[in-house]
Structure 1
Amino acid sequence: MTDFNDKQLDILQAAEKLFAEEGFDGASIRNIAREANVNIAMISYYFGSKEKLLEALIIHRTSGMKMQLENIFNENLSPADKVDRLIDLYISRINKNKCMYQIVHFELSTKKRIMDMKAFIDIKLQNVEAFKRIIQEGQAQGVFRKDINIFLIPTTIVGILVHFQMNRMFMETALQLESDDAFEAYIKNELTAHIKQTIKALLLHEN
């Protein structure tokens, strides 16, 4: 289920905020209901349980990327320019959904509860297939190397960005980034340029 009504979206937004701030165990259904300005019974009616609410939140935040990837594939751009667009898309989505990534990383790494992640994995696999089409187009044109592990390209993009964000205090000190705006500007400019340079070095033939 990926189409939610306004009340469901309010609940998901409240859950995301409180899960990120207090952790899954710390965020109570009562507090989520209060934050969303709904009654507890409504959360139970729409989602059934807190675990199902978390699953719905993950699906909500990860669905939709396949269409954006397809749009990039269909644009009249060179393969290298499409890769730039891919990287911009990944970075913008991760920045927009920081809370969700924080929640998912914690839940999957701790394995404290068994979540039904099949729908989430299915969406991720669809996204990988859409991503592969873009890279394979460049390979078919002879622009990109054939000996590329395409599956690891998104992992490389996300890994660099998440590592930078998770080491924020060190990065702010080392790079003298003295405000939130400065930190975000560094990601948007220098870090994004570095990621694009890194990915193109993996993809393009050596001169």
Structure 2
Amino acid sequence: MENNLNDKQIQILEVAEKLFAEKGFDGTSIRDISKIANINVAMISYYFGSKDLLLESLIKHKTIGLKEQLLVLIAENLEPVAKINKLIELYINRINCNRGIYRIMHFELTSKKNESILKYFTELKKANLKSVELIIKEGQAKGIFRKDIIIPLITPTIIGTFFHFQMNKDFYEEILDLKTDTQYDNFIKTDLTKHIQQTIKALLVYEN
């Protein structure tokens, strides 16, 4: 998907993402996007057809990379715990670098207005879950991971922790003394990621 887009299309999608995240999908018009992107309205319609299809293209453009990264991870010659740790790094980095699109997707999933997007996102989540299942079942087969794990709850545990931290940014900036955006982002990449890795490991690995 990503390789099939030209520079103009990517520019349009980046502007659309910013406006959809700030003003909402319904609060953003194609004319708003064309004005900021400095591209004719007709050109946007030519490339994407409609605002709904533009949103669908945006979500696919921003989410397909994680699916591909997970497939590469599965094939790597790593022990299951190392794979899980790397999987968590991939998830947190991907979400943190694409906060806007996840905000948009959360709204779309909540509103349930666009059936094609709901269907696409459901299939995407199923594919990503399959990757997680393969890693965990590999660990179970090796006697490293517990057999009583509810695998579909692993991903929401990872993502839910991140989003709780993100939704309470002001609170955590104060109590963790994170004075700048750089400090905040570095905390996510290091301490928060490590905390989530430790949490998931505690859920998966047999107690000593």
TM norm structure 1? 0.94
Residue 186 of structure 1 corresponds to which residue in structure 2? 187
Residue 41 of structure 1 and its aligned partner are, at CA, apart by 0.8
The reply to whether residue 116 of structure 1 matches residue 116 of structure 2 is yes
Residue 35 of structure 2 corresponds to which residue in structure 1? 34
* Contact kept in structure 1, 2:11 and 2:37, CA below 8 Å: yes
Residue 201 of structure 1 and its aligned partner are, at CA, apart by 0.4
Residue 69 of structure 1 and its aligned partner are, at CA, apart by 1.0
The reply to whether residue 205 of structure 1 matches residue 206 of structure 2 is yes
Q: Aligned partners of 1:5, 1:150: CA distance in 2, in Å?
A: 38
RMSD: 1.4
1:37-52 matched pairs, under 5 angstroms = 37-52=38-53
For 1:6, the aligned partner's letter is D
Residue 120 of structure 1 and its aligned partner are, at CA, apart by 2.5
1:2-21 matched pairs, under 5 angstroms = 3-21=4-22
Q: Deviations over 1:8-53 (max 9, x none)?
A: 1111111001111222122221121122221101111222221221
Q: Aligned partners of 2:50, 2:193: CA distance in 1, in Å?
A: 39
* Contact kept in structure 2, 1:73 and 1:134, CA below 8 Å: yes
1:15-164 matched pairs, under 5 angstroms = 15-111=16-112, 113-117=113-117, 118-164=119-165
Q: Aligned partners of 2:202, 2:92: CA distance in 1, in Å?
A: 18
Q: Aligned partners of 1:13, 1:47: CA distance in 2, in Å?
A: 14
Q: Aligned partners of 1:22, 1:10: CA distance in 2, in Å?
A: 18
TM norm structure 2? 0.93
* Contact kept in structure 2, 1:51 and 1:115, CA below 8 Å: no
Residue 75 of structure 1 and its aligned partner are, at CA, apart by 1.4
Residue 66 of structure 1 and its aligned partner are, at CA, apart by 2.2
For 1:175, the aligned partner's letter is L
Tell which deviates more after alignment, 1-10 or 183-192. 1-10
For 2:56, the aligned partner's letter is E
For 1:116, the aligned partner's letter is S
* Contact kept in structure 2, 1:62 and 1:120, CA below 8 Å: no
Q: Aligned partners of 2:56, 2:45: CA distance in 1, in Å?
A: 14
Runs of 4+ aligned residues of structure 1 deviating over 4 Å after TM superposition are none
Query: Matched residue of 1:26: which SS?
Result: coil
For 1:19, the aligned partner's letter is F
* Contact kept in structure 2, 1:55 and 1:115, CA below 8 Å: no
Q: Deviations over 1:64-99 (max 9, x none)?
A: 222211211111211111111000000010011100
Residue 124 of structure 1 and its aligned partner are, at CA, apart by 2.1
Residue 123 of structure 1 and its aligned partner are, at CA, apart by 2.1
Residue 193 of structure 1 and its aligned partner are, at CA, apart by 1.0
Q: Aligned partners of 2:68, 2:26: CA distance in 1, in Å?
A: 33
Matched positions, count = 206
Q: Deviations over 1:131-176 (max 9, x none)?
A: 2111111111111111111111111100000110011111112222
Query: Matched residue of 1:205: which SS?
Result: coil
For 2:116, the aligned partner's letter is D
**Structure 2: tracts of 5 or more residues without a match:** none
**Structure 1: tracts of 5 or more residues without a match:** none
